[in-house]
């Protein structure tokens, strides 16, 4: 039996073996005192306990009884120490640290707000998490595979081993405080269930689902996904665009990459209290004040206006797609949320 198998055997069978060994020693001690000293069962058992607990041995023992006591002490104390040490190890390694970890995880989950719930930590989910981490976006991973959960935790993520389609799990990861949910679990059916559960619990939640087939795309939309992404379709389109218009693809990647420190593209939501609401792009002086370019405006009905004219009005509920330096975009986002004076 090699070392890993021995280690697994001791972890699984060690406690039972240790208890059995201690019982065997005590039974042997009792029987030994009965044979060597002619004592009754209770007296023999009592003396065995005294010997095992290193209490001073009675003085009225015969020479064979004294010899047996020495042997019993040598074997019994060792067995007792081994038993108690092994049981303490099992408690510490398998009980208390796990409880502390669960309590710490629960505190972290309770402190999350305005975060994303990433359902699944496979090839897609791990990349999504990597992007969130780079942009310092709070998130929590929900994954059923324990190995993937440990991989997520090892990479610095807050991971929960559970089924993302269950309502109690979504409550635990703070769906009532979440900013959005990413359904990227193993199969289309699981994604549909996860999206449906999340939509029933949070009608206003922004949900993105991953689909592998056209049929799954329609089902995810009916289940309540705001956006449905097909990695295969997007990958094929990206390959075609790269072959036909490599410079355009390079520019888009430059503008949307989280690693780019010189240029970034962002969406700015205009609230009814915003200083830019009900003003034109020219009146808002976005180019002059912030040095940004308004690439497009998405209206509340999701209709997109590309390259809007300077006199295009900015309405409450609009989302401005702007291009500029990261620090300028942060300043614009802050000012866009300020109330009119």
Domain presence at residue 253 = no
For 83, the domain range is: 3-94
Helix axes 188-201 and 214-223, enclosed angle (nearest 10): 10
Residue 241 maps to a domain: no
pLDDT in tens, the chain (341 residues): 555 555 565 555 666 777 787 788 888 888 888 888 777 887 777 677 777 766 666 566 676 765 676 577 667 767 777 777 777 766 666 555 566 667 777 888 888 899 999 999 998 999 999 989 988 899 999 999 999 998 998 888 888 999 998 999 999 999 999 999 999 998 899 999 999 999 999 999 999 999 988 889 999 999 999 999 988 888 888 889 889 888 888 877 776 666 655 677 888 888 888 888 889 989 988 888 888 989 899 988 888 888 899 899 999 889 999 988 888 888 888 888 765 54
One domain for residues 121 and 231 = yes
Assess if residue 75 is contained within a domain.
Answer: yes
Are 79 and 119 within one domain? no
Position 250 in a domain: no
Whether residues 126 and 228 fall in one domain:
yes
Question: Which residue, of 94, 121, 149, is where some domain finishes?
Answer: 94
Please indicate, yes or no, if residue 242 is contained in any of the structural domains. Answer: no
Whether 275 contacts 337, CB under 8 Å: no
Q: What is the CATH number of the domain that holds 152?
A: 3.40.50.720
H helix runs in the chain, sequence order: 3-37, 41-52, 63-94, 96-111, 123-134, 146-154, 167-172, 188-201, 214-223, 231-244, 246-256, 281-284, 286-290, 326-336
In a domain, 240, yes or no: no
Where among 42, 63, 94 does a domain terminate?
94
Kindly report the CATH number assigned to the domain that includes residue 31. 1.10.287.70
Domain assignment present for 107:
no
- Whether residue 58 lies inside any domain: the answer is yes
CB 314 within 8 A of CB 276: yes
Indicate whether 222 and 147 sit together in one domain: yes
Q: What is the count of structural domains for the chain?
A: 3
């Amino acid at each position: 039996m090699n070392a890993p198998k021995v280690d697994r055997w001791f972890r699984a069978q060690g406690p039972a073996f240790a208890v059995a060994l201690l019982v065997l020693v005590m039974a042997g001690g009792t029987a030994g005192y009965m044979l060597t000293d002619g004592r009754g069962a209770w007296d023999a058992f009592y003396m065995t306990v005294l010997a095992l607990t290193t209490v001073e041995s009675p003085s009225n023992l015969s020479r064979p009884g004294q010899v047996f006591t020495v042997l019993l002490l040598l074997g019994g104390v060792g067995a007792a120490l081994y038993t108690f040490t092994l049981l303490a190890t099992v408690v510490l390694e398998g009980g208390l640290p796990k409880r502390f970890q669960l309590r710490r995880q629960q505190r972290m989950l309770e402190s999350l707000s305005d975060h994303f719930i990433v359902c699944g930590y496979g090839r897609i989910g791990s990349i999504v998490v990597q992007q969130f981490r780079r942009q310092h976006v709070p998130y929590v991973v929900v994954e059923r595979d324990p190995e993937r959960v440990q991989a997520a935790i090892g990479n610095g993520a807050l991971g929960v081993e559970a089924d993302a389609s269950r309502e109690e799990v979504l409550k635990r990861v703070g769906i009532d405080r979440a900013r959005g949910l990413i359904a990227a679990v193993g199969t289309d059916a699981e994604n549909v269930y996860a999206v449906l559960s999340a939509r029933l619990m949070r009608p206003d939640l922004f949900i993105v689902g991953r689909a592998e087939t056209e049929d799954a795309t329609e089902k995810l939309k009916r289940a309540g996904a705001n956006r449905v992404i097909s990695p295969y379709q997007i990958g094929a389109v990206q390959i075609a665009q790269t072959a036909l218009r490599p410079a355009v693809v390079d520019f888009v990647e430059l503008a949307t990459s989280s690693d780019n420190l010189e240029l970034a593209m962002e969406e700015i939501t205009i609230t009814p209290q915003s200083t830019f609401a009900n003003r034109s792009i020219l009146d808002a002086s976005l180019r002059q004040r912030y040095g940004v370019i308004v690439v497009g405006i998405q209206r509340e009905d999701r209709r997109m206006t590309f390259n809007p004219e300077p006199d295009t009005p900015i309405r409450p509920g609009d989302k401005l797609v702007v291009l500029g330096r990261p620090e300028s975009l942060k300043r614009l986002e802050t000012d866009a949320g300020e109330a009119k004076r």
